[in-house]
Structures are given as structure tokens and as C-alpha cells.
């Protein structure tokens, strides 16, 4: 990371840690201060949300997560459909028949009679599968795997939502802290300019020194304006991550601080294999493809079902027993034996076997990707912890340097350049410290997402 980051880069990163109000070096946990919080006229009554409250809102409102929930419901329907293959199919039909006219038998030498009849016909049919060569079981396993796959995808989406909320939440805190730092830098430049003006009036400072102090102050005004606007933009991103309407004013409540987390790559990957929903989803996908292969193979074998029906006709449109014209029932065993289907089943089995092998490779690939994510997250966690420690020492030294430069200048033994350089060094050190704390917070968030669990 460069020594001095531009403000646009800082805001793209997204975190904040409080600075001490007296300008001293911040400790590892930071010091909260109500005066450090920036409020604008556009959000006078913004609702303050903790990180936990923000996550809860996002999990309720996120559209992609809601889509995944509907997918789970759809897969529940598939399970019910697959289960129906083993259950009896019972149906009933009733018809009212009205007939009229004449009917002739024997032609011109025969006889003709009139028809004027009305009757009711009712029938009940039953079909009960007895043997399906494993088709029903395979279909049920496939549907159950699809349901589990959709559920794991929903949980994986929820984990992504949580990470996004953490990033946007921390982004507002970083933008808020950068706005405070911009104000502090401007205040230091303004105080120095006032001191130089007083010395100039007393004949102890040159006009060049006064002009330089004024230029330094003017240079910091645009930075303060930009930091204020970046804060507003980060609030918009935060609100959108929660799925809230544009007219609802919110802001994060709290200050993020350095959290000393240690975990080895082996420990992290062990957690990931147990908790990552992407790994579980890939395994369920392979399970579903194996069930699809079993289903394709079952088409080579015969099936057996029990079929039955009962029919009743009445002389009139009446259900009274003495009006029944006929009653009849049938019961049969129906066997279906595949003979030759033009090699369709053979092709389907080949296709299903290839898809199953693909699913196994996909599951192995997902595990490799997760391992890579874990290794990168652990490496980033170690890096950011070292950065925080080094930048904290840098802030302490920069603060001492500015105090010394101010004293030397006031006593006439130092130069204005020393003062201005010390102010820039302190601003740079604080900026780098807060960014490193943010990066460490996000590294913890990344390791939690990579392992699928919360680290204490």
C-alpha cells in the first residue's frame, strides 16, 4: 500500500476508526466521540442502525435472497410431485346424458321408434403403481437433492448479503472518519495560518511564509468538500445494500476497531469444508445427477401397476338405488415391458452418466476454489494485522514530530516548511492507519465468509 492514498481510493474502501479528539495517536480500539460523527442537513433525523440490525434488514429485503427463497419453495413442490409417483391415483367422472330423436332398424321394411331418454353415468378409476424398477425412488432422491441444492444456494446468497452489508456499513464509517480527518487537517492549517499572520504583524515572519500558509489552507478546502460528498455517496450505497427506499434516512451506529484475529490456513479450510454452503450445494448437485442416472437406467426394466374402475348408470337423472340401470367394476394388473425404443434409453443413460461425472468434477472444483479463497483470506488477515501495528507506530511518531516542529517554529529555531511537512506527515499517518484498520476489519469479514462461520 502506498504511503499516501488519494481520497477517492479511501472512500472506495469503506471503514472508519475513531480518532482521539486531542489529536493524539489512536489506540488499537480507537476512542469514540460524538463530535467526530458528521451529520448533514439532508439527514437530520437519520435512523441509526447497528451492524446486527443492518444485517437483519438486508436479509429481509434483499431481492436476490427473496428469489432464492422462492426457488426453495419451488423445489418443495418438486418433492411433492415425485412422492406422488408412489401413491395411488384416484379420479371420478360423472356425466348427465340427454338423448332424443328417432332410430330406424331394417330400412324401409324395418321399424322405427322414437328416443327420448335421460340418464346419469358415474365412474371411478384407480391406478396404483406396484413396481416401477426404482423410478419413483430415483425421482424422489433427485427432487430431494434439488431442494437441498436450492436451500444451500439460499444460505450462500445470505452469506454474500451479510458480507456486502459489512462492506457498505464499514464504508460509511471510513467516509465519516475521512471527513473528520479532512476537517482536522483544515483546522490545523487554519491555526497555523493565524499564527503566521500574528508573527507577520509582529515582524517575525516574512510575507512569503504568510502566503504559503494561506495557500496551504486553501488547498485543503476542496478536500473537505469532497470528503463530505463521499460520505453522502457511501450512505446511499449503504441504504441500497439494505434494500431500503430512497426516502429513508439511515446511518451506521458505532465505530469499528482493530480486532486481533488469528487462524491458520488448515483450521480455516477445515471450517470451510464443514460450513461453506457452496461445497454442500455442489455435493447435492452431484447427488441429484446420480439419481437422474438411476432414473434413466430404470427405463430399461418393466413396470407393474394395478388398475381398477367402477361404473354406474341410472335410468333417470337420479341417484336413487332403485333407478340404477347397471353397475359394473373391473380390476386389472397392467405390465409395461420396454422392447425397443430406437436406442433412446441407451442415449439417455449415456448422457446422464456424463452429467453425473461432470457434477463430481464440479464438486471437486468448488472445493479447490474454496481452498484458494481461504488461503488468500488468511494471507490478507496476516498482512493487515502487520499493517495496523506499523501504522499505529507511525501515527505516534508523526504526532510527536508535529509537536516538535510547532515548538521549534514558535521559538524561531524551526522553519515553516518543517511545520507544513509535519502536518502532512500526521495527516498521511492517520489516513493510512484508519485505512489499515478498515482493511483488517474487511479481512476478518472475508475470512468469515471464506470459512462460512463467525470467528471469535
**Tens digit of pLDDT for each residue in 285-335?**
999 999 999 999 999 999 999 999 988 777 665 566 666 667 788 999 989
Give the contacts of 35 (CB within 8 A, at least 6 positions apart).
Answer: 21
> Residues 250-264: pLDDT tens digits?
989 988 788 888 899
pTM for the model = 0.75
> Residues 47-57: pLDDT tens digits?
899 999 999 99
Provide the pLDDT for residue 298.
Answer: 92
- What value does the mean pLDDT take over residues 9-17? 33
Q: Which pLDDT band holds residue 43 (cuts at 50, 70, 90)?
A: very low
Q: Give the cell for residue 253.
A: 451506529
Cα distance between residue 381 and residue 441, in whole Å:
9
Among 25-39, 212-226, 345-359, where is mean pLDDT lowest? Answer: 25-39
Determine how many CB atoms are found less than 10 A away from the CB of residue 105: 8
Q: Which pLDDT band holds residue 349 (cuts at 50, 70, 90)?
A: very high
- What value does the mean pLDDT take over residues 165-182? 92
Provide the pLDDT for residue 379.
Answer: 94
In the predicted structure, residue 141 carries a pLDDT above the cut 70: yes
Q: Which long-range contacts (CB under 8 A, 24 or more apart) does 356-363 make?
A: 356/286, 356/289, 356/290, 356/292, 356/293, 358/289, 359/282, 359/285, 359/286, 359/288, 359/289, 359/290, 360/286, 362/282, 362/285, 362/286, 363/279, 363/282, 363/283, 363/285, 363/286
> What domains sit in the chain, N to C, each tagged with a CATH number?
7-90+134-301+343-451 (1.20.1600.10)
Quote the mean pLDDT of the chain.
Answer: 83
Provide the pLDDT for residue 109.
Answer: 67
Q: Which pLDDT band holds residue 41 (cuts at 50, 70, 90)?
A: very low
Amino acid at each position: 500500500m502506498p504511503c499516501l492514498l488519494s481520497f477517492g481510493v479511501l472512500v472506495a474502501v469503506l471503514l472508519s476508526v475513531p480518532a482521539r479528539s486531542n489529536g493524539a495517536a489512536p489506540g488499537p480500539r480507537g476512542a469514540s466521540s460524538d463530535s467526530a460523527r458528521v451529520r448533514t442537513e439532508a439527514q437530520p433525523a437519520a435512523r441509526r442502525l447497528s451492524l446486527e440490525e443492518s444485517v437483519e434488514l438486508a436479509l429481509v429485503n434483499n431481492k436476490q435472497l427473496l428469489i432464492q427463497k422462492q426457488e426453495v419453495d419451488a423445489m418443495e413442490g418438486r418433492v411433492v410431485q415425485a412422492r406422488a409417483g408412489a401413491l395411488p391415483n384416484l379420479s371420478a367422472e360423472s356425466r348427465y346424458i340427454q338423448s332424443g330423436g328417432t332410430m330406424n332398424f331394417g330400412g324401409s321394411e324395418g321399424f322405427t321408434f322414437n328416443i327420448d331418454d335421460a340418464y346419469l353415468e358415474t365412474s371411478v378409476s384407480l391406478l396404483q403403481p406396484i413396481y416401477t424398477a426404482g423410478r419413483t425412488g430415483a425421482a424422489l432422491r433427485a427432487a430431494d437433492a434439488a431442494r437441498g441444492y436450492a436451500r444451500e444456494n439460499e444460505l450462500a446468497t445470505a452469506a454474500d448479503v451479510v458480507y456486502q452489508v459489512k462492506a457498505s456499513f464499514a464504508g460509511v464509517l471510513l467516509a465519516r472518519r475521512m471527513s473528520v480527518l479532512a476537517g482536522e487537517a483544515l483546522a490545523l492549517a487554519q491555526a497555523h495560518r493565524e499564527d503566521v499572520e500574528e508573527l507577520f504583524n509582529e515582524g517575525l515572519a516574512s510575507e512569503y511564509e504568510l502566503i504559503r500558509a494561506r495557500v496551504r489552507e486553501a488547498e485543503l478546502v476542496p478536500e473537505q468538500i469532497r470528503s463530505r460528498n463521499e460520505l453522502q455517496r457511501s450512505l446511499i450505497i449503504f441504504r441500497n445494500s439494505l434494500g431500503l427506499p430512497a426516502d429513508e434516512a439511515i446511518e451506521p451506529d458505532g465505530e469499528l476497531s482493530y480486532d486481533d484475529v488469528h487462524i491458520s490456513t488448515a483450521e480455516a479450510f477445515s471450517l470451510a469444508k464443514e460450513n461453506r454452503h457452496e461445497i454442500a450445494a455442489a455435493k447435492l448437485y452431484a447427488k441429484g445427477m446420480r439419481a437422474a442416472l438411476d432414473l434413466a437406467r430404470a427405463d430399461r426394466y418393466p413396470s407393474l401397476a394395478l388398475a381398477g374402475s367402477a361404473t354406474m348408470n341410472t335410468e333417470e337423472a337420479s341417484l336413487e338405488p332403485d333407478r340404477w340401470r347397471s353397475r359394473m367394476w373391473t380390476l386389472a394388473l397392467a405390465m409395461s415391458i420396454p422392447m425397443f425404443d430406437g436406442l433412446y434409453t441407451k442415449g439417455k443413460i449415456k448422457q446422464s452418466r456424463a452429467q453425473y461425472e461432470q457434477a463430481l468434477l464440479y464438486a471437486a472444483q468448488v472445493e479447490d476454489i474454496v481452498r484458494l479463497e481461504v488461503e488468500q483470506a488468511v494471507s490478507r488477515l496476516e498482512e493487515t494485522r502487520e499493517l495496523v501495528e506499523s501504522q499505529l507506530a507511525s501515527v505516534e511518531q508523526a504526532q510527536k514530530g508535529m509537536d516538535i516542529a510547532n515548538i521549534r517554529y514558535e521559538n524561531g529555531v524551526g522553519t515553516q516548511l518543517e511545520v507544513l511537512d509535519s502536518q502532512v506527515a500526521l495527516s498521511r499517518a492517520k489516513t493510512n492507519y484508519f485505512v489499515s484498520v478498515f482493511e483488517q476489519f474487511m479481512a476478518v469479514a472475508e475470512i468469515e465468509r471464506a470459512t462460512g462461520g463467525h470467528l471469535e
